[in-house]
Amino acid sequence: MAPPLYQTVINSIIAQIAAGDLLPGGMLPSETQLAHDIGVSQGTARKALMMLEQHGIVRREQGRGTFVTARTPESSLFNFFRLRPPDGRVIKPKVLEERIARRAATPIERETLHGTPTEVIEIRRVRSLLDRRGVMETSVISVDLFSGIERRSPLPSALYVLYQQAYGIIVLHADEAIRASVASIDEATSLNVKAGTPLLRVERLARDVLDRTIERRHSLYLTEDLSYMVRLD
């Protein structure tokens, strides 16, 4: 099934952002110009711009034009990293260890990741929070979408900023399933705690602006001093 036409426009704009042809703060062509350049109707161009605005990728200013907004490391961290101290302030996790491997996709990875990849890249990291080991996370992404990412190691702390800047993939949503568990011996060693220490176990599916599942992530959080904080509406 062909994607709707406005997605073609969205893809084109995101590709330009990813390639650095459109910089954060930079102005986009007008609706009319955009429609002409890409060969779609003005209504289709308008719909694409509205969706990009809804997702916070562009900002329209009355009488001035449409501008690229940036997904900064800070906003990415704020949205997708929910561990906070009791006062709720945002803290930045540091990467202590990183291992990147290319391997065959498991059946569930092939089934859920966009493009049904046969090969994936697995990024395992141990992070510290407030100067203490607190997070073990494993991100799994498709080799096809993230070609050559293993050669960029060490990766930046905020992976989603890299996904956007280097691959034009903008993560907008994540569904997380959270469970309580206790540390296995291996996990306890990595996190420098006793086996049997309570841990939050979080399974994430991250989706991009085109609603494609582009990452599976498994995280273990030590929640002695920090909590996973969420607002329900």
Q: Which residues in this chain contact a second copy in the complex, by CB under 8 A?
A: 79-80, 82, 84, 86, 172-182, 196, 198-201, 203, 221, 223, 227-233
Select 20 or 87, whichever has its Cβ closest to a second copy.
87
| In the complex, minimum distance from the CB of residue 171 to a second copy, in angstroms, rounded to a whole number | 10
The number of C-alpha atoms within 13 Å of 149 and in the hemisphere containing its C-beta is: 28
| In the complex, minimum distance from the CB of residue 227 to a second copy, in angstroms, rounded to a whole number | 4
> In one letter, which amino acid is 169?
I
The H or E element containing residue 188 is helix 185-191
| In the complex, minimum distance from the CB of residue 55 to a second copy, in angstroms, rounded to a whole number | 9
SS3 206: strand
Intra-chain end-to-end CA distance of the chain, in Å: 35
Sign of CA dihedral 48, 49, 51, 57: positive
Residue 129: which of 16, 225, 4, 21 has the closest Cα?
A: 225
Select 45 or 220, whichever has its Cβ closest to a second copy.
220
| In the complex, minimum distance from the CB of residue 203 to a second copy, in angstroms, rounded to a whole number | 8
| In the complex, minimum distance from the CB of residue 106 to a second copy, in angstroms, rounded to a whole number | 16
The number of C-alpha atoms within 13 Å of 233 and in the hemisphere containing its C-beta is: 0
The DSSP code sequence of 11-34 is HHHHHHHHTTSS-TTPBPPPHHHH
Token digits of residue 2:
């062909």
Select 162 or 193, whichever has its Cβ closest to a second copy.
193
| In the complex, minimum distance from the CB of residue 175 to a second copy, in angstroms, rounded to a whole number | 5
Determine how many CB atoms are found less than 10 A away from the CB of residue 73.
15
**Peptide bond preceding 154: is omega within 30 degrees of 0, i.e. cis?**
yes
